[in-house]
Amino acid sequence: MPNTRIRVPKTAKAGDAVEIRAIIQHPMENGFRLDSQGTPIPVEIITDFSCTYDGGEVFSVKLEPGLSANPYFSFFLKATKSGPVDFRWVDQDGTITTATEQLDVT
Amino acid sequence: MNRALVAILACAGIVATFAAVFAADQVPAQKPISGYDFMTPEVQQLQDDDFANPGLLWVEEGQTIWDDTKVASGKSCASCHGDAVTAMRGVATRYPAYSVEAGHVINLEQQINQCRRERQGEPDFPYESEPLLSITAFVSTQSKGLPQSVAIVGPAAESFERGKAFFYQRRGQLNLSCSNCHEQHAGDHLRGESISQGQLNGFPIYRALWQTMGSTNRMFAWCNEAVRAEPYPAGSQEYVDLELFERWRGQGLNIETPAVRR
């Protein structure tokens, strides 16, 4: 499973906008490159990334070839109630990588 | 031990130190400047970000390898060395260094592999492989903020001289030596790109061009190819010698692994 790093604040005040950051280690091979022998390197990318907060989707991206390696996303989330923030990356061959962090709203 | 003897020994020590310093007659040709200072603010910002710096993914992977007990001897790096934060602090500043076991100067990657071979009973990580980059980055980052200080006297002197000769030797179809760019033209531009001094204090680096981590030897090979010279294989003694000379050139620069470069 690819290595991921996520950052969600441990606690937040209700109504605050908190910054969420997520990065995954992935080559994001675009399929247009050739190796040293001239053979095309097959495409190998992550196709979907989504984030849910307490069960509801808050952020979702469809990734295409041409994005740089180790895609990194940062966005803001309005803290309303305590709940898990789940991250989900889907590889082109269907491999799912997940990560989760609890956000406590005070 | 009486006082006079202590004084004599102390004097002898000082004389020996001076002799060693002068024997090598050695001051770098210019004041070292980290590659960081030649980067654009955006790249610098990415390196300074303790979350978004992509090199940290490899550092984390390195921590996993450090604690991995699934090896032939059943002993992880941590089983002998303990916590890397204290045990590996300052280690990266000293490499490449002369190894008694190997009988020549070796770099950090080779030291790690030597340890792995002899104490873990596992085959070497191939040079430039993900695990070797990860563990090297992990060990190096423990020395973050400490100045580079490699030994170039004693058994390492010969290696140092070879490295120095390599640095000043013109090579390739473009007939350029390392020093032509990185010493005589550091701070100037090659088209849109600024020329750095070619310092190694941030290695292994995350290089945007490669979209991945790379070791010193990969950088040397890349540079050699850029002047259209045949690169040496990664981990070759030529490159280790060059690395020793280069690290010495950057004597006093703080380690900043994992650095981000363009």
Residue A58: predicted pLDDT: 94
Indicate the pTM of the whole model.
Answer: 0.88
Q: Do B52 and A72 touch (CB under 8 A)?
A: yes
For chain A, say whether B212 makes contact (Cβ under 8 Å).
yes
Residue B1: predicted pLDDT: 47
Residue B244 exposed, middle or buried by CB count within 10 Å (0-12, 13-18, 19+) = buried
**Whether B181 is catalytic:** no
Residue B22: predicted pLDDT: 46
Residue B18: predicted pLDDT: 47
Residue B205, SS3?
strand
Question: For residue A105, what are the β-bridge partners?
Answer: A12
Q: Which of residues 151-180 of B touch A (CB under 8 A)?
A: none
Q: Nearest CA to CA, how far is A106 from chain B (Å)?
A: 25
Query: B115 φ, ψ to 5°?
Result: -60, -45
Which of B51, B60, B211 is the closest to A3 by Cβ? B60
- Domains of chain B (ranges, CATH numbers): 2-49+148-261 (1.10.760.10), 56-141 (1.10.760.10)
Percent of chain B exceeding pLDDT 90 equals 87
Q: Do A3 and B61 touch (CB under 8 A)?
A: yes
Residue A2: predicted pLDDT: 86
pLDDT tens-place string over residues A64-76: 998 999 999 999 9
ipTM: 0.89
Q: Nearest CA to CA, how far is B43 from chain A (Å)?
A: 14
pLDDT tops 60 at residue B213: yes
pLDDT tens-place string over residues A38-97: 999 999 999 999 999 998 999 999 999 989 999 999 999 999 999 999 999 999 999 999
Single-letter residue type at B228: R
Instruction: Answer whether B14's CB lies under 8 Å from B232's CB.
Output: no
